[in-house]
Amino acid sequence: MNSVNIAIIGTGLIGQRHLDLASKIPGCKLVAASDTHPDGAKMGQKYSIPFYEDYRRMLIEEKVDGAIIATPTNTHADIGIACAQHGVHMLVEKPITGSLSDAEQLVDAAQQHNVKILVGHHRRHNLLVQQAREIVQNGQLGKLIGVTALFALLKPTDYFNVEWRKQTGGGPILTNLIHDIDNLRFICGEIENVYAAASSATRGFEVEDTASLTLHFANGALGSVLVSDATPSPWSYELTSGENADYPFTGQDCYQFCGTEGSLAFPSMTLWRYPKKQEGLPGWYKPLEQLRRFETAENRPLSAQLAHFCDVIRGDAEPLINGREGLKTLAVTQAVLESAQQRVPIAPHL
Ligand SMILES: NC(=O)c1ccc[n+]([C@@H]2O[C@H](COP(=O)([O-])OP(=O)(O)OC[C@H]3O[C@@H](n4cnc5c(N)ncnc54)[C@H](O)[C@@H]3O)[C@@H](O)[C@H]2O)c1
């Protein structure tokens, strides 16, 4: 397997996790890092790699095959376009950019310079998410009728010591729900309309702390989602997936998919249906059977995402979530905000 040269741009919270993985994954060679903050130099020393305060100089001086862009969202477009101009493939953290017009420009630049974009919606690399998609899309639940999803947890009060997190755009819709929107698009299919209500009544900040939404999928299924970062609750992807050791695992479910032949709870992967050999008509007076559909020991989505990025760079795979897909997830999430503000249903601007 040919080794590919990877550079990290932005060595903050998520950038440090990428640095750690890029230094370990076979076939991936960590060659340089960049951050505008001089403290980033410590990362260069830690991994014995060149460190640059100016990523543009890094792109000129180092031989980089792929860059991981882990800087604040509003910088993704400029940095990504510079990478494209240097012929460097990119893994862009989510959301792809801060606006749809920026995302369009980035996707166009990548196409023009023939480089690949992988968007960091890493949950698509979770084997349970992939299994749920297979169960739903292969018709194992029959025709999909609907889905319920919960992102309900408590962010500690000191999370809000950072000013932007109290202001419009800094809340759970753009920060957290975007992950669930991407999961639901990946598992259930395209979302063509959203109707949302948002509230800031619990904390009283400008930003929402709670939202409720109705989703219309193109295949006719409906979705119902409750979002709140102000409740002590065990029901969120964060606390149920066991994906990130920073979050205590609750063993609960966060999504329920309902079809004409059965239902699936995620991530316990419990499938409920009526036994084939039951006498009489299936229905609410008859006992349902419960099946566990999947067991997995090795499920590390962030590592899997990076290994996949290296395959994309080598030309051995197409991005599991490319720039256009990342743009669609952003468009649906922005439609949620727009619907909540205008109090009308909104079709995502795709
Ligand atoms: N996939 C996930 O689950 C996940 C989790 C956290 C954050 N994110 C995303 O990752 C991105 C970064 O978030 P974070 O929480 O790590 O932020 P952060 O503030 O901890 O880190 C960002 C870093 O980028 C640096 N930076 C800013 N402008 C730069 C530039 N022009 N060149 C080089 N470095 C620059 C900053 O100095 C900082 O060190 C955001 O888009 C965020 O939405 C994704």
> 139 near 164, Cβ under 8 Å?
no
Three-state secondary-structure class, residue 172: helix
Angle (CA) 211 301 250, round 5°: 55
Ligand 1 near 9 CB (within 6 A): yes
> What pLDDT, in 10s, does the model give residues 278-294?
889 999 999 999 998 66
Atom 33 (ligand 1) nearest CA: 35
170 lines ligand 1 (CB under 6 A): no
Structure tokens at 302: 């962030």
With a 6 A CB cut-off, is 243 part of the ligand 1 pocket? no
Q: Which residues contact 203 (CB under 8 A, 6 or more apart)?
A: 160, 209, 230
What's the mean pLDDT in 121-134? Answer: 96
Cβ of 67 below 6 Å from ligand 1:
no
Q: What is the pLDDT of residues 309-325, one digit of tens each?
A: 999 999 999 999 999 99
Q: What is the pLDDT of residue 296?
A: 66
**Cα separation, 119 vs 85, whole angstroms:** 18
Q: Output the pTM of the full model.
A: 0.95
The count of other CB atoms within 10 Å of the CB of residue 103 is 27
Mean pLDDT of the chain: 95
Whether the CB-CB separation of 103 and 117 falls below 8 Å is answered with no
What does the DSSP 8-state code read for residue 266?
E
- Contacts of 194-202 with C-beta under 8 Å, sequence gap 24+, read 194/332, 194/335, 194/336, 194/339, 194/345, 194/346, 194/348, 195/339, 195/344, 195/345, 195/346, 196/336, 196/337, 196/339, 196/340, 197/340, 197/343, 198/173, 198/337, 198/340, 198/341, 202/228, 202/230
Ligand 1 centre distance from Cα of residue 315 (Å): 27
Radius of gyration of the chain (CA): 21
Which of 323 and 276 is assigned the larger pLDDT? 323
Q: Say yes or no: CB of residue 267 within 6 Å of ligand 1.
A: no
Written as one letter, the residue type at 32 is A
Could you tell me the sign of the dihedral formed by the alpha carbons of 337, 342, 343, 347, in that order? negative
pLDDT digits (tens, 9 = 90+) for 31-47: 999 999 988 889 999 99
User: How far is the centre of ligand 1, averaged over its atoms, from the C-alpha of 76 (Å)?
Assistant: 9
Question: What atom in ligand 1 is closest to the CA of residue 78?
Answer: 31
Instruction: Map residue 257 onto helix, strand or coil.
Output: strand
Least confident of 152-161, 274-283, 333-342: 274-283
User: Which protein residue's CA is at the shortest distance from atom 31 of ligand 1?
Assistant: 36
Q: Is 69 in the pocket of ligand 1 (CB under 6 A)?
A: no
Query: Measured from the CB, is residue 122 less than 6 Å from ligand 1?
Result: yes
Q: What percent of the chain has pLDDT over 90?
A: 90
CA–CA separation, 95 and 329 (whole Å): 8
Cis ω for the linkage preceding 95 (within 30 of 0): yes
Average confidence (pLDDT) over 134-153: 97
3-state helix, strand, coil in the chain (%, to 5): 35, 25, 40
**In the predicted structure, residue 297 carries a pLDDT above the cut 90:** no
Strand arrangement of the beta sheet that strand 191-199 belongs to: 191-199, 210-217, 222-228, 144-152, 255-259, 263-266, 270-273, 289-292
Does the C-beta of 174 come closer than 6 Å to ligand 1?
A: no
Q: Could you please report the per-residue DSSP string of 110-121?
A: HHHTT--EEE--
Domains belonging to the chain, first-starting first, are: 4-115 (3.40.50.720), 126-298+330-342 (3.30.360.10)
Percent of the chain exceeding pLDDT 70 equals 99
CA–centroid distance, residue 74 to ligand 1 (Å)? 10
* Of 43 and 330, the one with more pLDDT: 330
Q: In whole angstroms, what is the distance from residue 175 CA to residue 201 CA?
A: 19
- Please state which of the ranges 134-138, 176-180, 273-277 shows the lowest mean pLDDT: 273-277
Cβ(330)–Cβ(179) under 8 Å?
A: no
Angle at 50 between CA 21 and CA 96, to 5 degrees: 50
Tens-digit pLDDT profile for residues 225-258 = 999 999 999 999 999 999 988 999 999 999 999 9
Residue 250's closest CA among 258, 241, 259? 241
| Mutational pocket test of ligand 1: of 16, 35, 300, 302, the residue with most ligand atoms within 8 Å of the beta carbon | 35
The helix or strand, by DSSP H or E, that contains position 105, with its residue range, turns out to be: helix 100-112
The per-residue pLDDT for 1 is 75
Q: Is the CB of 42 under 6 A from ligand 1?
A: no
